[in-house]
A and B are shown apart, each in its own frame.
Chain A
Amino acid sequence: MRVIAVALPSMLLAGPLAAADLPLIPSFTEETTTAGVDSIYSGDWEYMVGGGAAVFDCSGDGFPDLFLAGGEGKAGFWRNASARGGQLRFEKTESGLELDHVTGAYPLDIDSDGIMDLVLLRVGENLVMRGEGQCRFTPANSAWGFDGGDAWSTALAATWEKGNSWPTIAIGNYIDRTQDAFPWGSCTANWLHRPNVGGTGFAPPVALEPSYCALSMLFTDWNLSGTPSLRVSNDREYYKGGQEQMWKVLPGQPPVLYTKDEGWKYLRIWGMGIASADVTGDGYPDYFLASMADNKLQTLATPLKEGEPVPGFADVAFARGATAHRPYTGGDVRPSTAWHAQFEDVNNDGWPDLFVAKGNVSDMPDFARNDPNNLMLMDDQGKFHEVGDKAGVASMAVSRGGALADLNLDGLIDLVVVNRHSPAQIWRNTTIGAGHWLGLKPVQAGANPDAVGGWVEVRTGDRVQRRELTAGGGHASGVTGWWHAGLGPVDQAEVRVIWPDGVAGDWEQVAADTLYVIDRDKGAQEWTP
Chain B
Amino acid sequence: MDPSRRDVLLAGLALQVAAFLPRSARAEAERPSPEEVMATWYRLVLELVRHTPTYSPPVASRAFAYLGISVYEALAQGKAPMVSLAGQLHSLKPVPAAVDPLAECDEAVLLHSVFADAVRIFFSNTGPTGQRAMKAMTDRLGAKVAAGLSPEVVERSAAQGRAVVDHIVAWSQDDGGAVIENMGFPLDYEPSRDPGHWRPTSTIAQQQAPLLPNWGTNRPFAMPSPTACTLPPPPAYSEEKGTEFYAEALEVYETVRNLTPEQTAIARFWSDDPMLSTTPPGHWNQIALEQLEIENAPARRRAEVMARLGITVADAFIACWQSKYEYDLVRPVTYIKKVIDKTWEPLLITPPFPEYPSGHSTQSGAAARVLTAIWGNNFAFTDTSHEDDGLPSRSYPSFWAAADEAGISRLYGGIHFRSAIDRGLEQGRCVGAFAVALKMGAQA
Contact = CB atoms under 8 A, between A and B. Distances in A.
Interface string B23-52: 000000000000000000001100100111
The residue among B43, B47, B204, B391 with the most chain A CB atoms within 10 A of its own CB is B204
Interface residues of B, number: 34
Contacts of A45: 128-129, 132
B427 interface: no
A183 B127 contact: no
A365 B276 CA distance: 19
A293 B206 contact: yes
Interface in A310-343: 315, 317-319, 323, 325-326, 333-335
Interface string B183-211: 10001000000000000000111100000
Interface residues on A, range: 35 or more
B20 to A, nearest CB: 5
A98 B51 CA distance: 36
Nearest to B276: A268
B281 to A, nearest CB: 18
Chain A, interface SS category? loop
A294 to B, nearest CB: 5
B128 A323 contact: no
B380 interface: no
B137 interface: yes
A407 to B, nearest CB: 33
Nearest to B54: A366
A377 B173 CA distance: 44
Interface in B217-241: none
A326 B137 contact: no
B204 A325 contact: yes
B133 A180 contact: yes
Given A180-B132, A323-B205, A363-B131, A333 B187 contact: yes
Contact of A365 (B124, B140, B187, B389): B124
B77 interface: no
A15 interface: no
B339 interface: no
A45 to B, nearest CB: 6
A181 B206 contact: no
A326 B319 CA distance: 31
A240 interface: yes
Given A184-B51, A241-B390, A335-B182, A364 B128 contact: yes
B182 A319 contact: no
Interface in A333-380: 333-335, 361-367
A334 B44 CA distance: 26
Q: Which of the listed residues B52, B181, B206 has the most CB atoms from chain A within 10 Å of its own CB?
A: B206
Nearest to B203: A318
Given A335-B182, A364-B128, A366-B53, A181 B276 contact: no
Contacts of B11: none
Contacts of A466: none
Contacts of A241: 388-391
A23 interface: no
Nearest to A183: B129
B206 A185 contact: no
Given A236-B276, A237-B51, A294 B204 contact: yes
A294 B206 CA distance: 8
B47 A326 contact: no
A322 B425 CA distance: 41
Interface string A213-255: 0000000000000000000000011101100000000000000
Interface string A161-200: 0000000000000010000111111000000000000000
6 contacts: A45-B129, A182-B43, A184-B47, A238-B51, A241-B389, A366-B127
A-B pairs, top 4 by smallest CB distance, nearest first, are A318-B203, A241-B390, A362-B128, A241-B389
Interface of B: 20, 43-44, 47, 50-54, 124-125, 127-129, 131-133, 136-137, 140, 181-183, 187, 203-206, 275-276, 388-391
Given A293-B206, A317-B203, A325-B204, 18 more contacts: A181-B20, A181-B133, A181-B136, A185-B388, A236-B275, A238-B129, A241-B390, A293-B204, A294-B204, A315-B203, A318-B203, A319-B203, A323-B204, A325-B205, A361-B127, A364-B127, A366-B53, A366-B183
